[in-house]
Structure 1
Amino acid sequence: MTKILFSPGKYIQGPGEINNVGKYAAGLGKKALILISAGGFRRNGQDILDGFETEDCTCEFEMFNGECSYNEIKRISALVEEKQCDLIIGVGGGKIFDTAKAVAYYEKTPVMICPTIASTDAPCSALSVIYTDEGVFEEYLFLPSNPNIVLLDTEIIAKSPVRLTMAGIGDALATYFEARACVESEATTCANGKATSAAYALAKLCFDTLMEEGYKAKVALEAGALTPAVEKIVEANTLLSGIGFESCGLAGAHAIHNGLTVLEECHSLYHGEKVAFGTIVQLVLENVPLEELEDIIEFCICVGLPVTLEQLGVTEITEEKIRAVAKAAAAETDTLHNMPFEVTEESTYNAILAANAYGHQYLGK
């Protein structure tokens, strides 16, 4: 039984680090293509450019089209070849990271990931989540290696919308529960091996950090403050969750997320917000003790994560819609089957309905 742990080559986190992108890029290549959104360029482009001025590395910016789809990956790959770049840098959020990582894989270049938000655990992983151009989940693209460097400027993250960091908590919340399920079922992880004790310990540390620091970080961020609690949550959302999910495995929560992408009304929700609800569904499937279920639902409520389908945007709940979500989540190739017991489309359908009902119950307290 082979155990494998994946991690980025270097993880850098701290205030003001955006000014050092050029310094670290110079250790990886001579010409970088920087994939960024138009808004991200307005906010951070000049600081990044300034950091390249004294380095033996140049850069060119390219605006991201909005979806990590194969069409977008091909478009950026063509630009890398045309501009003769030997390094890809993704600056912004999860879909930019996943696109940058996929392009680096196809073009055989190093990749540097610079999150300006802490909304997912995507930055550290050797994985790209591929969607259609319309935003519907298509497949996971497993990559042979993790990013060479992950760099986070916590001053920038502290200025981002609080909802984004809370969405990151929602994504990270699933890490321990999915790890626990995969360890019990001895599932093959995203790293293509079995879970290591080290990765499982990081998944548990991720959960403990969220419970201890999550609400404190929310209050601090709402006040515009960068505190130790915020720093710990950024690390939990990004590094601890990233290594934990990849080297322990995904299970029910992310499969429910993938199922929810078939509903157009859920497309405006962030990845982690859907994963948070998926975590509650997974706990219902596991029939965990009431105390554990209560703790998670009440934690989600206190940090502003959705606990009902209505909060996910599904204002008109029909059997047809929920069965469509359950069918997609229970697809043969999805991670729902990493649970340590048989899960069917029917049991998933019932768990979604029950999770929604529990959410309403606790919101009504």
Structure 2
Amino acid sequence: MVRSISSHAIAPANVLRGDGAWDEALPQIASLCTRPLVLGRSVSTEAHRQRLVTDLKSHGLSPLQDQLHFDCCEQDLQRLASGLGGCDAVLAAGGGKVLDAGKLLAHRLELPCITVPLSASTCAGWTALANVYSSKGAFERDVALGRCPDLLVFDHGLVRQAPPRTLASGVADALAKWYEASVSSGDSTDGLVQQAVQMARVLRDQLLIDSPKALEDAGSAAWVRTAEACALTAGVMGGLGGARCRTVAAHAVHNGLTQLEACHPILHGEKVGFGILVQLRLEERLGGNRLAAQAHRQLLPLLQQLRLPVCLDDLGLAEASLSQLQEVCRFACREGSDLHHLPFSVTPGALLEALVGAAELSPISL
């Protein structure tokens, strides 16, 4: 009998969530370390990081501070690793790329990792995965990590202060869990994978209902459910389902779009949301999936309501040349790309057609 063993980094060792979660986390942080590196990047979140540093000091810790110069990239990671004398943990506070950099740095240095999301734009604070970019912001590769963070602190008060655009971006990124996992793993016979896929479906349904209200009122219960769905629950799918609950075309399109400088101001989830529309168009036209056309008709109005990009113009690519769009498609279709987890082949030319027509509505089939 052949034994099949799989390893799952499902969740952080501990998760604190809710208003005031940061204050409750301080004793736990003190039990993990005495000299953490507080890592951030954005000028807009600097005041929050300074508060974290002050609070850490008030609990007897001696935090160091540094910030990324770029996205999560080797240049930054190597610089940080060479200058961390005496650091005994990494505390990453910020958006997805800061959290990814903190996780990857802690992984390489074999240090405890603490993630403090300052928005709900991704589930990076949860996962055992990091995306690596060039110093110019172009996606290069993803890196699987040995474990999820030791502590995730999701303080509603901190996250509420982020621009609403970041939550909308998180909604798009979380929605992709269903549209991608259902294609790559929907026919799996593995029980954990099946459960992860169905969790992604429930997550999608909740976001379809709650996200408009959440964007209207940050004080609502819908905001809490939506923010936690994007930053916490979305991370469960990859941990439970493992590599078989894969990203597919939506994230491959994101990776291709990052190759163009004009797209760099567009948030991760904003590009992924556009990628979902592209994937559904591919499923319909190349895969013969009529349900994909219905899903497209359901999703497009929500993305528009949340003011998310649905066409190339929205992505800042109104003036993009044909060669630039072909570059996006070549990268998305390169060997080893997640796009090839689709159950049919896709050429760069077919992908280009789907990019251009991502927001077009197909005729209703009778």
TM above 0.5, yes or no, is yes
| Matched ranges for 1:1-365 at <5 A | 2=5, 5=8, 6-37=10-41, 38-55=43-60, 57-80=61-84, 82=85, 84-184=86-186, 196-221=193-218, 226-246=219-239, 247=241, 248-287=245-284, 288-289=290-291, 290-358=293-361
Q: Percent identity?
A: 28
Q: Distance in 2 between matches of 1:194 and 1:99?
A: 32
Displaced runs of 4 or more, over 6 A: none
Q: Secondary structure at the match of 1:91?
A: strand
Structure 2 CA distance for partners of 1:4 and 1:205, relative to 1, 3 Å? farther
User: Is residue 23–residue 52 contact of structure 1 (8 Å, CA) maintained in 2?
Assistant: no
Q: Distance in 2 between matches of 1:153 and 1:334?
A: 35
Deviations 1:238-278 (A, max 9, x none): 12211224532111100000011112111110000000000
Q: Distance in 2 between matches of 1:283 and 1:117?
A: 28
Q: Distance in 2 between matches of 1:109 and 1:163?
A: 33
Counterpart residue number, 1:190: none
User: Is residue 197–residue 237 contact of structure 2 (8 Å, CA) maintained in 1?
Assistant: yes
Q: Distance in 1 between matches of 2:261 and 2:53?
A: 36
Q: How many residues align?
A: 348
Q: Secondary structure at the match of 2:82?
A: helix
Per the TM alignment, residue 40 of structure 1 is displaced from its structure 2 partner at its CA by 2.3
Q: Distance in 2 between matches of 1:157 and 1:204?
A: 25
Deviations 1:212-239 (A, max 9, x none): 1100101103xxxx22111111111112
What are structure 2's unaligned runs of at least 5 residues? 285-289
Q: Secondary structure at the match of 1:147?
A: coil
User: Is residue 90–residue 112 contact of structure 1 (8 Å, CA) maintained in 2?
Assistant: yes
Q: Secondary structure at the match of 2:314?
A: helix
Q: Distance in 2 between matches of 1:47 and 1:133?
A: 27
Q: Secondary structure at the match of 2:358?
A: helix
Q: Which amino acid aligns with 1:43?
A: H
Q: Secondary structure at the match of 2:357?
A: helix
Deviations 1:52-84 (A, max 9, x none): 4235x432221222311101011111222x2x1
Q: Secondary structure at the match of 1:146?
A: coil
Q: Secondary structure at the match of 1:122?
A: coil
Q: Secondary structure at the match of 2:36?
A: strand
Structure 2 CA distance for partners of 1:30 and 1:198, relative to 1, 3 Å? farther
Per the TM alignment, residue 24 of structure 1 is displaced from its structure 2 partner at its CA by 2.1
Q: Which amino acid aligns with 2:212?
A: Y
Per the TM alignment, residue 119 of structure 1 is displaced from its structure 2 partner at its CA by 0.7
Counterpart residue number, 2:287: none
The TM-score with structure 1 as length reference comes to 0.89
Q: Which amino acid aligns with 1:173?
A: L
Deviations 1:30-58 (A, max 9, x none): 22111023442323422442244235x43
Q: Which amino acid aligns with 1:73?
A: L
Q: Secondary structure at the match of 1:243?
A: helix
Q: Distance in 2 between matches of 1:207 and 1:242?
A: 13
Per the TM alignment, residue 303 of structure 1 is displaced from its structure 2 partner at its CA by 1.1
User: Is residue 56–residue 63 contact of structure 2 (8 Å, CA) maintained in 1?
Assistant: no
Q: Secondary structure at the match of 2:63?
A: strand
User: Is residue 8–residue 146 contact of structure 1 (8 Å, CA) maintained in 2?
Assistant: yes
Q: Secondary structure at the match of 2:66?
A: strand
Structure 2 CA distance for partners of 1:64 and 1:20, relative to 1, 3 Å? farther
Deviations 1:287-339 (A, max 9, x none): 14332211110110111111011000001243322221111111112111111
Q: Which amino acid aligns with 1:212?
A: I
Q: Secondary structure at the match of 2:266?
A: coil
The TM-score with structure 2 as length reference comes to 0.89
User: Is residue 49–residue 93 contact of structure 2 (8 Å, CA) maintained in 1?
Assistant: no
Q: Distance in 1 between matches of 2:49 and 2:90?
A: 17
Q: Distance in 2 between matches of 1:46 and 1:239?
A: 23
Per the TM alignment, residue 19 of structure 1 is displaced from its structure 2 partner at its CA by 2.5
